[in-house]
Amino acid sequence: MKSLFLRLFLPSAKGDYTASSVRAKAGALAGGVGICTNLLLAAGKFTAGAVSGSISITADAANNLTDAGSSLLTLAGFRLAAKPADKGHPYGHARYEYLTGLALSFLVLLLGVSFLKESIGSFFSESQTVIGNLALIILAASIAVKLWQWRFYRKIAAIIDSKSLQAAASDSLSDVAMTSTVLLGALIRRFVGVEIDGVVGCLVAVFIVVSGIRLVLETSDPLLGAAPDPALVHRLKDAVLAYPGIIGVHDLVIHSYGAGKVFATLHAEVDARTNLAETHDLIDNIETEAGTALGLELVIHMDPVTLDDPKLDAMHAEIEAIIRQVSPKLRHHDFRVVFGPTHDNVLFDVVVPTGFPLPDGELIYLLTASIKRVYPTAVPKIRVDHDYSDFLEE
């Protein structure tokens, strides 16, 4: 299926499936397939629900109709996300994909609440469902189609790295479980004679509500500034440190504006004695090579550090121990000392992890007091950095 898809619908991709134009084609394919299949399923189930009088089958049909709307929004989202960058949006429009997903999430949530009310009301109704062969066949066929949808969405999502299509694949698999529950209820009513349509309808409605809440959380997370993928963080760190001449890395920040629109900045420590032009050329090469390999727009700030100074090294080791005594979770970088006749300026950045209990001001006060107890002539000049990418080593 994957090779057929690439051959027929992405002939110009040439291995780059994060390009906006390629993603738009893939989104159009997935959206078109989703609209057609879900509309057919919804029509069949609405017919079966009307004939049988089953509220659970009708609720399942409405869920498929919502899935068709989801596919329509997915199609629109990919088209809008493919718009090129402009002056007002220099990072592109890839986040439209998240916005359309968020809009759909609220629609799913409202639909679930509506059917939950209707299902609860069915407990007080005297109407009985009549399950015929048509309803059973339609439900069984729906399960098969949804299984195919799940495989289809999952393959394309893997090809273009799409969060929205990954969510669509998960939703299709969830629909399999939901329709299976409806089918089980219909079989019990048909062959056992026990009326549980209202109960099954409530289960379907609750499932829709839970799915809506889950989708709201998943689609809003990237818009709120979710943490970067830890695997990407460590791959980037390892890639930069692999270059000869790079002593350490810190201050990594990653911003994602959608697939193929990821920007990263970091600081790379180098020996202060090296030739400035050669080191600058090294940094340029790392930005290009590592950034291209990881699909990032990478910018690196060069930090020169002093090595092999016995007096500075001894002071550095002592202050590092002080920092670890305050908390083993703390790290530091850019350590340097300006020695003077009356006092020594001690400068460094201390990096705190997310959720660190001490406020910045209190941490600086505590470190300053601890350092001055050991070095009375020291004047600590400490800056607090916050770890935005889970970059600290354990």
Query: Is the CB of residue 259 less than 8 Å from the CB of residue 295?
Result: no
Q: Tell me the pLDDT tens digit for each residue of 66-102.
A: 788 778 877 777 777 777 778 888 877 777 777 777 7
Pairing of the two strands 248-256 and 297-305:
unpaired
Residues ≥6 apart with Cβ < 8 Å to 112: 205, 206, 207, 208, 209, 210, 211, 212
Q: What is the pLDDT of residue 394?
A: 40
More confident residue, 350 or 178: 350
Q: Are 279 and 302 in contact (CB under 8 A)?
A: yes
Homologous superfamily, domain 308-394: Cation efflux protein, cytoplasmic domain (3.30.70.1350)
Residue 25, pLDDT > 70, answer yes
The CATH 1.20.1510.10 domain(s) of the chain lie at: 2-224
Q: Which of residues 250 and 240 earns the better pLDDT score? A: 240
Overall average pLDDT of the 369-387 stretch: 91
The answer to whether the beta carbons of residues 258 and 95 sit under 8 Å apart is: yes
Contact (Cβ atoms closer than 8 angstroms) between residue 343 and residue 380? no
Q: Flag whether pLDDT at 17 surpasses 70.
A: no
Do 205 and 109 touch, CB atoms closer than 8 A?
no
Q: Which residues contact 218 (CB under 8 A, 6 or more apart)?
A: 101, 105, 163, 167
DSSP 323: H
Q: Which residue has the higher pLDDT, 208 or 334?
A: 334
The tens digit of pLDDT for each residue in 165-185 reads 777 787 788 788 778 888 888
Question: For the chain, what is the mean pLDDT?
Answer: 82
Lowest mean pLDDT among 186-190, 234-238, 270-274: 186-190
Q: Which pLDDT does position 144 carry in this prediction?
A: 94
Question: pLDDT by residue (tens digit) across 214-226?
Answer: 878 877 877 777 7
Distance of alpha carbon 249 from alpha carbon 233, whole angstroms: 12
Token pair of 363, please?
A: 């941490």
Integer CA distances (angstroms), 79 to 162, 277, 382, in order: 14, 44, 48
Is residue 274 predicted with pLDDT exceeding 70? yes
The pLDDT of residue 62 is 82
Token representation of residue 249: 């890395």
Q: Distance between CA 102 and CA 220 in Å, rounded?
A: 6
Tens of pLDDT, residues 362-376? 999 999 999 999 999
Q: What digits encode the pLDDT tens for the residues 110-164? A: 777 877 777 777 666 666 677 788 888 999 999 999 999 998 888 888 877 777 7
Q: Please give the pLDDT value at position 6.
A: 47
3 pLDDT above the threshold of 70: no
Q: What is the pLDDT of residue 160?
A: 77
pLDDT at 240: 94
The answer to whether 100 touches 76, Cβ cutoff 8 Å, is yes
Tokens of 121: 């009301």
- Integer Cα distance of 209 and 225 in angstroms: 25
Residue 1 has pLDDT above 50, yes or no: no
Question: Alpha-carbon distance 281 to 378, whole Å?
Answer: 36
Question: Residue 83: what pLDDT?
Answer: 78
- Tell me what pLDDT residue 392 has: 54
Name the pLDDT band for 381 (thresholds 50, 70, 90). Answer: very high
Domain with CATH 3.30.70.1350 in the chain: 227-305, 308-394
What is the rounded distance in angstroms from the CA atom of residue 77 to the CA atom of residue 92? 13
Distance of CA 25 to the CA centre of its chain: 22
CATH code of domain 2-224: 1.20.1510.10
Confidence of residue 2 (pLDDT cuts 50, 70, 90): very low
- Of residues 14 and 117, the one with the higher pLDDT is 117
Residue 210 pLDDT more than 70?
yes
- CA–CA separation, 82 and 21 (whole Å): 6
Give the number of C-alpha atoms closer than 13 A to the C-alpha of residue 346, restricted to the C-beta side: 26
Burial label for 83, CB within 10 Å (0-12, 13-18, 19+), is middle
* Maximum average pLDDT range among 8-22, 40-54, 68-82: 40-54
Total residue length of the chain = 394
Q: Binning pLDDT at 50, 70 and 90, where does residue 244 land?
A: very high
Within 8 A by CB and 6+ apart from 332, the residues are 320, 323, 348, 349, 350, 351
CA–CA separation, 64 and 176 (whole Å): 11
Please state which CATH class domain 227-305 belongs to: alpha beta
